[in-house]
Structure 1
């Protein structure tokens, strides 16, 4: 069974469906916002040439997004689209990002509580992650679910420290400031959080190794109440119950196999993180930071459907998305099933994302640095 038969899981299923619909809705409106309104990073200068005048005229008729919305820009994730904003995962961009802004506005962290620095928030979410990692080692499912809630709080705090840093520097939209102290502190704290989560999962699976299957009476012929009983992971002392109904467990998964699967999944996380940060940096340099390149070509590239779909791919395969999926698997007590399903196939998704991005990077560079309009 994909979901445990409980009221909490039914509520979770409905909540996940709502979140998926909400994210698709927001992606659609983000694309329309990019196409139909001005973008901060590509506001053209007044001294344009005659050849650019027709394009300049088209740019002038585009309205400001701030003039047509009812949700204030300080909490609206669609207001200031940037390269990084297009590549941040859905949960962080559409849920935790606005929630961070609401908390900041309510508590006035950015302008009043100046003693609370972004780095302090980063250090605090490391502590939250360590506590969550400890809870993930527990045999009790309820305790592990509390641990997952703490890890989601950690991810929210990770968004909050970035929001506070941008507000204090008066930066609009998501941006990576590569090489700054805050960039490295945030990266190290994120790494510690991920290590805490993976360590907790390793310890739990070592102490409660998954089984390879069953033998004896065909499982498909068992009554539902017996299936429910032998599938429960809350009580590992089920062998006597299984024996009474003619079932014996097959061998447990070895710790070596557990480490292998988790190692392959962790490898995906590392490669995804490196590639994701690399392409954010490249796209920012080519489209947002290199003002010597033609602004109209950079804007045309940013507004293109091809670029939107390429960045959408990284929304799905970036390291934060991996953590959200893993959190969901742990919460639903399907950790091992999830890890087995993706420890190889996840690399295929990464290859597709990297290959697409490499081809697109070269195409963008050629377009914005040449005199040929290939849009």
Structure 2
């Protein structure tokens, strides 16, 4: 049974406000945690430069973050900041991530249920996505809202497979194991889930084309089949000049639907490619290369410009797009959302890429070439 629309709107607005405040709160404390406490990524690298003694003294001044926690590291998303953790969207990092840890602890997936592999979880969330895609084609808003729930479960399972893989390899914090079998399986399963969602939306919009405005047309010029088509309460607006003509809502063409959805899908693809690229580059420069000066790598990781640049990807990465799309479907505003971002989203993507390219050059100059002036 559907809630009254006014009640649903109030509840949803309240939840969105709470989520927004929570994410801002967590971002603030993530930045403070990075600035004021020891970082695992730089505590074990060899000191190989003239700055090593300075770095040792810095580490002595820094406190251990685990000593001040009231939420244990096993479920605390702030405990082990990494490059990837700084670039994951807010919902996955601050909500689904801790929930994955809680579920894993409760069920013992990583330690006891060893027959459940991360790849099995990945394959299962593709199955969930296919069911959700089928429901997205339904005219019933309740069915489409249930599809949104299924796609959020899919995204949770996408987090869970990575969590289980890291736990079994004793890896702390979020990391991308680029080139591994699990990396490619996870990526392909994600792609299949997103494609299923786009196809479901396309079929729904094809069968229920959105309206794009009103058109005034003399009745005498309309052919019978078109007059019959618009002769419904949802097509006809109150007409004060019936002798002159009729005002009716025109339908968006299927070609236009494909165009808008294709442009949005293009954003998703480019965002995914760029997001993974910069995670790989930043990990290589700051986390995976002990031959580079440790103090300089840590200084760059703690810099405000790095936090800002990675923060852009928290907003424009493909998971954020999917969360916003899911919200628009739940609110029955799918077409309005797609129209709003099918061009403007590319501008946001260009800003994120441009900032990241500048930052990559800065990191290379500062960390590899030893340039000053950061």
Tell me whether the two structures share a fold, i.e. TM-score over 0.5: yes
> What is the correspondence of 1:133-144 to structure 2 with a 5 Å cutoff?
133-144=133-144
For residues 61 and 48 of structure 2, the distance between their equivalents in structure 1, rounded to whole angstroms, comes to 16
User: Which residue matches 2:366?
Assistant: 367
Whether 1:325 aligns to 2:324 is yes
Q: Is 1:356 aligned to 2:355, yes or no?
A: yes
**Residues 5, 46 of structure 1: CA spacing in aligned structure 2 closer, same or farther, 3 A cutoff?**
closer
Counterpart of 1:72 in structure 2 is 72
User: Residues 336-347 of structure 1: matches in 2 within 5 Å?
Assistant: 336-347=335-346
Alignment correspondent of 2:36: 36
* Distance in 1 separating the partners of 2:315 and 2:304: 17
CA drift at 1:369:
1.2
Counterparts of 1:120 and 1:257, CA distance in 2: 38
- Unaligned 5+ segments in structure 1 are 217-235
Is the contact made by 2:52 and 2:294 (CA closer than 8 Å) also made in structure 1?
no
1:45-64 aligned at under 5 Å gives the runs: 52-64=52-64
Rounded to whole Å, the distance in 2 between the matches of 1:362 and 1:49 is: 21
RMSD: 1.8
User: Cα distance 1:253–1:93, how it changes in 2: closer, same or farther (>3 A)?
Assistant: same
Change (3 A) 1:374 1:145: same
Per the alignment, residue 284 of structure 2 pairs with: 285
Alpha-carbon deviations, 1:290-342, whole Å to 9, x = none? Answer: 11000000000000000000000000000000000000000000000000000
Structure 1 residues 48 and 180: CA distance shift in structure 2, 3 A: closer
Whether the aligned pair in 1 keeps the contact of 2:230 and 2:248 (CA below 8 Å) is: no
The alpha carbon displacement at 1:10 in A equals 1.4
Q: Aligned partners of 1:295, 1:22: CA distance in 2, in Å?
A: 33
- Are 1:239 and 2:232 an aligned pair? yes
Runs of 5+ unmatched residues, structure 2: 217-228, 240-245
Does the CA contact (< 8 Å) of 1:211 and 1:249 recur in 2? no
Following the alignment from structure 1 to structure 2, what is the Cα–Cα distance between the partners of residues 299 and 88? 20
2:45–2:294 CA contact under 8 A, matched in 1: no
Q: In the superposition, relative to structure 1, how do residues 299 and 265 fare at CA in structure 2: closer, same or farther (>3 Å)?
A: same
1:203-222 matches, cutoff 5 A: 203-215=203-215
Residue of structure 2 equivalent to 1:301: 300
- Out of 284-293 and 363-372, give the one that drifted further: 363-372
For residues 292 and 237 of structure 2, the distance between their equivalents in structure 1, rounded to whole angstroms, comes to 75
- Residues 92-103 of structure 1: matches in 2 within 5 Å? 92-103=92-103
Q: Against the structure 1 CA distance between its residues 143 and 369, is the aligned structure 2 distance closer, same or farther, given a 3 Å change threshold?
A: same
Does structure 2 retain, via aligned residues, the 8 Å contact 1:239–1:248?
A: no
Q: Which string of whole-angstrom CA distances, capped at 9 and with x for unpartnered residues, describes residues 170-216 of structure 1? A: 00000000111100000000000001100000000000000111356
Q: Could you tell me how far 1:251 is from its partner in structure 2? A: 1.7
TM-score scaled by length of structure 1:
0.91
Aligned-partner SS, 2:212: coil
Deviates more, 1:341-350 or 1:48-57: 48-57
Contact 2:136 2:204 survives alignment (8 Å)? yes
Aligned to 2:20: 20
Query: CA 1:238–1:368 in 2, change beyond 3 Å: closer, same or farther?
Result: farther
Relative to the length of structure 2, the TM-score reads 0.91
1:244 is displaced (CA, Å) by: 7.6
Q: Which residue of 2 aligns with 1:272?
A: 271
How far the C-alpha of 1:58 sits from its partner, in A, is: 1.9
Q: Write out per-residue CA displacement over residues 197-246 of structure 1, whole angstroms, 9 at most, x where no aligned residue.
A: 00000000000000111356xxxxxxxxxxxxxxxxxxx99823664833
Give SS of 2:20's match: helix
